[in-house]
Amino acid sequence: MAEYPTPRAAVRRTKEYHPPLGSRDSTRLDFNENTFACSPKVLEVLGGISRADLTKYPEREPVERLVASHLGLSAEQVLLTNGVDESIHVLCQTFLDIGDQFLLPVPTYSMYEVYGSSTEAEIICVQAKEDFSFPLEALLQRITPATKLIAIANPNSPTGRAVPRESILRVIESAPNAMVLVDEAYYHFYGHTVLGLLERAPNLVVTRTFSKAYGLAGLRLGMLAAHPEQMRWMRRVISPYSVNGLALACLPAAMDDNAYLKWYVDEVLQGRDLLAAALRRLSVHYWPSDANFILMKIGAKHREFVTAMRHRNVLVRDRSNDPGCDGCVRITIGTLEHTRIGIDALEASLAEIGWKPDED
Ligand code: PMP
């Protein structure tokens, strides 16, 4: 019998992650992307890329300096990554060792568990409260000297709930041996940041993405910021060329176009109110969101609902398998036009499946 090399035990344990594929022609309200476009200035840059530009290995540092000054940080504090997903991977690879514990308030973004489980560390999940608010006391109780990483998405996905700054401070102070990741992927739709704490908290890591409000998910651009001391270790782990040259060329133009960013964020904030009002009118239970999506409870008919939406060419994400999210579906808020399309499809789909308010 043929023998095959086997991967590390941790890799065999690692959860598989298969993002659902969706037709390009659909209204995609399933990935929390920008539903419309990035700044037109980005396309101008892409149009100016020459064949000779593509021959060169990408240089991350000059763009990191720009991002740092944009955010009021020093260049040593900033690392550009291939999306925030790579930031999470680098963080896990840098800090999680055998015998360590990774504390994860759940439900939350799936990739924390995916990357965490490919290390030798133990993952400990702490369930959010019934209203999905942050389980501060339960989390504090689980902190031990072995706690090495704690991941907090703020606002959280799939719930849209934000974590109060005081709670984040309590976690940072209570776990001095652990890196505390505050993932601000949805910062632009929320408006509060803990970047200002980096100077005094050597165990804090903050991530931001250019995939959401900036509309650059296809370029794969994220960033991680931490105390310079910690950054040295993470720079050892990351591949030097993981952020490609096209992405680096486009980033300054995207960051400069504040008017475009503001326009898109305004559309989302108006759409969020519109969608919430529609859900109230239809008596669908939902959780108030600080992000560009809303989690709602459809109940037993969640699969039928997602299918009915797909037949109307609108993709939404079934989150029923997330801890504590039985019967829940998440819907992205995009431009007002796309949000209106989503609301119309939602109303028609609920009617088609014969959904009643008491079914959730
Ligand atoms: N963090 C959170 C909380 C997210 O929801 C997502 C994307 N869905 C990411 C990080 C990943 O972002 P990126 O595209 O930058 O890898």
Does the pLDDT at position 360 exceed 90? Answer: no
Q: Are 264 and 227 contained in the same domain?
A: no
Which tens digits make up the pLDDT trace of 329-359?
999 999 999 999 999 999 999 999 999 987 6
Does 83 contact ligand 1 (Cβ within 6 A)?
A: yes
Mutate to test the pocket of ligand 1, among 38, 85, 87, 163 (most ligand atoms within 8 A of CB): 85
Q: Are 129 and 239 contained in the same domain?
A: yes
Does 185 contact ligand 1 (Cβ within 6 A)?
A: yes
Establish how many alpha carbons lie within 13 A of residue 268's alpha carbon, considering only the half-sphere containing its beta carbon: 31
Arithmetic mean of pLDDT over the chain: 96
Domain assignment present for residue 9? The answer is: no
pLDDT at 24: 72
What is the pLDDT confidence band of residue 1, given thresholds at 50, 70 and 90?
Answer: low
Ligand 1 nearest atom to the CA of residue 108, by list position: 3
Q: Are 48 and 76 contained in the same domain?
A: yes
Q: Are 217 and 109 contained in the same domain?
A: yes
Domain assignment present for residue 13? The answer is: no
Does 183 contact ligand 1 (Cβ within 6 A)?
A: yes
Task: Tally the residues of the chain.
Answer: 360
Domain ends where: 233, 256, 279? Answer: 256
Q: Are 138 and 218 contained in the same domain?
A: yes
Taking CA atoms, 317 is separated from 92, 205, 227, 321, in Å, by 27, 28, 36, 11
Domain ends where: 225, 256, 287? Answer: 256
pLDDT at 85: 98
pLDDT at 15: 81
Q: Are 248 and 301 contained in the same domain?
A: no
Name the domain count of the chain. Answer: 2
Does 109 contact ligand 1 (Cβ within 6 A)?
A: yes
Which tens digits make up the pLDDT trace of 110-145?
999 999 999 999 999 999 999 999 999 999 999 999
Does 94 contact ligand 1 (Cβ within 6 A)?
A: no
Domain assignment present for residue 188? The answer is: yes
β pairing state of 27-28 and 314-315: parallel
Domain ends where: 203, 233, 256? Answer: 256
Q: What is the CATH number of the domain that holds 300?
A: 3.90.1150.10
Which tens digits make up the pLDDT trace of 263-312?
999 999 999 999 999 999 999 999 999 999 999 999 999 999 999 999 99
Domain assignment present for residue 28? The answer is: yes
Q: Tell whether pTM > 0.85.
A: yes
Domain of 219, in residue numbers: 40-256
Ligand 1 nearest atom to the CA of residue 86, by list position: 16
Does 217 contact ligand 1 (Cβ within 6 A)?
A: yes
Distance 12 CA to ligand 1 centre (A): 24
Q: Are 141 and 274 contained in the same domain?
A: no
Distance 91 CA to ligand 1 centre (A): 14
pLDDT at 145: 96
Which tens digits make up the pLDDT trace of 143-159?
999 999 999 999 999 99
Q: Are 230 and 332 contained in the same domain?
A: no
Ligand 1 nearest atom to the CA of residue 212, by list position: 14
Please, is 4 exposed, middle or buried when counting C-beta atoms within 10 Å of its C-beta (0-12, 13-18, 19+)? exposed
Distance 182 CA to ligand 1 centre (A): 12
Which tens digits make up the pLDDT trace of 183-225?
999 999 999 999 999 999 999 999 999 999 999 999 999 999 9
